[in-house]
Amino acid sequence: MSKPVFITRRERFNAAHKLYNEKWTEAKNLEIFGKCANPNWHGHNYDLYVTVQGEVDPETGYCMDLRFLSDLIEEKVIEKTDHKNLNLDVDFMRGKMASTENLAIAIWEQLEAGIAAKGCRLHCIRLEETENNFVEYYGAS
Q: Least Å distance between CB 98 and Ni ion? A: 8
Active site residue 36: yes
Judge whether 123 counts as a catalytic residue. no
Which amino acid type is present at position 11?
A: E
Nearer Cβ to Ni ion, position 30 or 36? 36
Angle (deg, nearest 10), helices 66-73 and 100-116 = 130
Q: Considering the complex, state which of residue 36 and residue 78 has its C-beta at the smaller distance from Ni ion.
A: 36
- Concerning whether 136 is annotated as a catalytic residue, the answer is no
Residue whose CB is nearest to Ni ion in the complex, by number: 36
Binding site for Ni ion (CB under 5 A): 36
Rounded Cα distance, 78 and 53, in Å: 21
CB 30 within 8 Å of CB 21: no
Which of 26, 83, 101, 136 is labelled catalytic?
A: 83
Classify 35 in phi/psi space as left (phi over 0), alpha (psi -120 to 50) or beta: alpha
- Shortest distance in whole angstroms from residue 128 CB to Ni ion: 12
Active centre residues (catalytic): 36, 83, 129
